[in-house]
Chains A and B, each alone.
Chain A
Amino acid sequence: MNPLLTFLLLSILKVAVVLVIFLTAVAYTVLLERKVVGRIQNRWGPSRVGPFGLFQPLADGIKLFLKEDLMPTGVDRFLYLLAPMIALVAALLSIAVVPFGGGQTYKGVEIFDIADLNIGLLIILGITSIGVYGIALAGWSSNNKYSLLGSLRATAQVISYELALGLSLVGVVMRAGSLRLRDIVAVQSVHGMASWNVFGGFQFVAFFIYLMAAYAETNRAPFDLPEAETELTGGYHTEYSSMKFAMFFMAEYGNMIIVACVATLLFFGGATSPFGHLIPAFGGAIVQAILPVLWFVAKVLAFLFLYIWVRGTLPRFRYDQLMGFGWKFLLPLAIANIIVTSLVLAIHG
């Protein structure tokens, strides 16, 4: 078969498989959150649909599909419809550059990622910065003061924290000498856990900054001011119903998963084993190919759990605290981290 055709067909297959898995993961992250927050608040969470409430996402999906699709008067129709699509597409697009397994190939096409790009990290940052428009336009086009306030808050928050987020990654990039995500993972795979950026790479400050900034970027508690129910009745998606609301909802949880993936790749060794070469290779080639994917999923799940744990524990920031924290604490800290990391690298490396 023509190599270009093989490449195209295999790529389409990969995109379809990864997209289905990703959307399922989004649906079950919602269930995980409801379950875990339930237990934190000393109640059961959803438990009626299926065993342990496992079919709850299905029921939620059907409910959202069948809801009446309302559109308030005086909205900017085109932008009102465009906004949820931008939000969802931006949330789904980033998974394309995430390498979630080893570098095995089939007929010259990598199996465990969709695209392995030289500038993978920058692509993720770029897509994140485009995703803001979904929220900004949703609030503006809804013709509702709460929506507008919510989206203004979201935009200001994302612009402020994007700087700290980008700067926190510079140390990791300097250590790897590359923006390619597979290279960044490769640097951390030599001695297992001891060479992870967060421990052996001494990037724990950068990891802390990344985590804070990423929580703020995804508008999650304790930085969920854009959709603060008590003040804004729901923020930028107040006027959205049915599947259009579901698109914002999926975008939020998709972004959570992307942040968990990026944290895993940049600070926790991606799809490599935490034990390095301590455990001898067992099983056949297939087991050794599947094992990294399982490590990756386990790490991502741990980050998702942390996300939910933080949401269940911490109260919301005040707006001035949010801005002060971003500009006066995280940003200088990120710059200090860059200076120290580059000095150490210049002396040692």
Chain B
Amino acid sequence: MHLVLFILFGGLCVAGAVNLLLQRHPINSALSLIVVMTSLAVLYLLLGAEFLAAAQVIVYSGAIMVLFVFVIMLLNAGEEERTTGSKAAYLVGFPGAAALLGVLAFVFLSQKSALGNARLGSFLVTTSDLSRVLFRDLLLPFEVTSILILVAILGSVVLARKEQ
């Protein structure tokens, strides 16, 4: 059951990501990104991270992507033009991506014993477990991060403000 769901939504996630690159119209790309985000939420749920899954849907698929779609609608962005691309992208891009994938796979496989295993659907991190870690053990980093985000918001307001 878990495996079927994993394959289904993992496949959907990859298909969405590929479609995001292939679509020419920005709004179709944005919608593919929503598919990717939402299927990622299902994968989190399968791994037992229920709060993370809900937050993924609310924050990423909901708030952030609505903003993307809103901006695309507001600017009425047209279809993007295709260029043949630079030679360097073809020569370095594919081998580079393949090399990165290879290195990551090698590191994870060789460190398998140290990293441990997470089985699908074998454990559950409840919201209260998560908040206990977040607000007791990791309180300082958590608060520092929120202040960092506040600074970013203020910065964007200052940059976007019209000159008086």
- Residues of chain A touching chain B, judged by Cβ–Cβ distance below 8 Å, are 76, 79, 117-119, 122-123, 125-126, 128-130, 132-133, 136-137, 139-140, 148, 151-152, 155-156, 158-159, 162, 166, 177-179
Option from A125, A128, A177 in Cβ contact (under 8 Å) with B128: A177
Contact A152-B73, Cβ < 8 Å, known A119-B127, A122-B58: yes
Is B32 an interface position by the 8 A CB rule?
Answer: no
Is B51 an interface position by the 8 A CB rule?
Answer: yes
Chain B nearest CB, measured from A144 CB (Å): 13
Once the chains bind, are B58 and A126 in contact (CB under 8 Å)? yes
Chain A nearest CB, measured from B150 CB (Å): 13
Q: 30 A–B contact pairs at CB < 8 A?
A: A79-B27, A79-B31, A118-B126, A118-B127, A119-B54, A119-B127, A122-B51, A122-B58, A123-B54, A126-B57, A126-B58, A129-B57, A129-B62, A130-B61, A132-B62, A132-B66, A133-B66, A133-B69, A136-B66, A136-B69, A136-B70, A140-B69, A140-B73, A152-B73, A156-B70, A158-B66, A159-B67, A162-B62, A166-B58, A177-B128
Is B134 an interface position by the 8 A CB rule?
Answer: no
Is B89 an interface position by the 8 A CB rule?
Answer: no
Option from A119, A123, A130, A152 in Cβ contact (under 8 Å) with B70: A152
Is B115 an interface position by the 8 A CB rule?
Answer: no
Chain B window 57-80, contacts with chain A (Cβ cutoff 8 Å), 1 for yes, 0 for no? 110011100110110011000000
Chain B nearest CB, measured from A187 CB (Å): 15
Contact A162-B50, Cβ < 8 Å, known A119-B127, A140-B27, A155-B70: no
Counting contact residues on chain B (CB < 8 A from A), the size range is: 20 to 34
In the complex, what distance in Å separates the CA atom of A136 from the CA atom of B51?
27
Q: Which residues of B contact A151 (CB under 8 A)?
A: 73
- The chain A residue with its CB closest to the CB of B25 is A76
- The chain A residue with its CB closest to the CB of B127 is A179
- The chain A residue with its CB closest to the CB of B69 is A136
Once the chains bind, are A159 and B50 in contact (CB under 8 Å)? no
Is B34 an interface position by the 8 A CB rule?
Answer: yes
Chain A nearest CB, measured from B94 CB (Å): 31
In the complex, what distance in Å separates the CA atom of A335 from the CA atom of B128?
21
Number of A-B contacts (CB under 8 A): 74
Once the chains bind, are B50 and A119 in contact (CB under 8 Å)? yes
In the complex, what distance in Å separates the CA atom of A162 from the CA atom of B58?
10
Option from B27, B66, B73, B74 in Cβ contact (under 8 Å) with A129: B66
Once the chains bind, are B73 and A159 in contact (CB under 8 Å)? no
Once the chains bind, are A152 and B58 in contact (CB under 8 Å)? no
Q: Which residues of B contact A156 (CB under 8 A)?
A: 70
In the complex, what distance in Å separates the CA atom of A145 from the CA atom of B69?
17
- The chain A residue with its CB closest to the CB of B56 is A126
Q: Which residues of A contact B67 (CB under 8 A)?
A: 159
Once the chains bind, are B69 and A130 in contact (CB under 8 Å)? no
Contact A133-B126, Cβ < 8 Å, known A122-B58, A152-B74, A155-B69: no
Interface centre among B38, B50, B53, B73 (most CB of A within 10 A): B73
Once the chains bind, are B50 and A118 in contact (CB under 8 Å)? yes
In the complex, what distance in Å separates the CA atom of A166 from the CA atom of B55?
12
Contact A126-B73, Cβ < 8 Å, known A119-B54, A159-B67: no
Knowing that A129-B66, A158-B66 touch, tell me 12 more A-B residue pairs with CB under 8 angstroms.
Answer: A119-B54, A122-B54, A126-B54, A129-B57, A129-B58, A129-B62, A129-B63, A130-B57, A130-B61, A132-B62, A133-B69, A151-B73
In the complex, what distance in Å separates the CA atom of A76 from the CA atom of B74?
16
Q: Which residues of A contact B126 (CB under 8 A)?
A: 118
Once the chains bind, are A159 and B66 in contact (CB under 8 Å)? yes
In B123-164, the 8 Å CB interface with A consists of 126-128
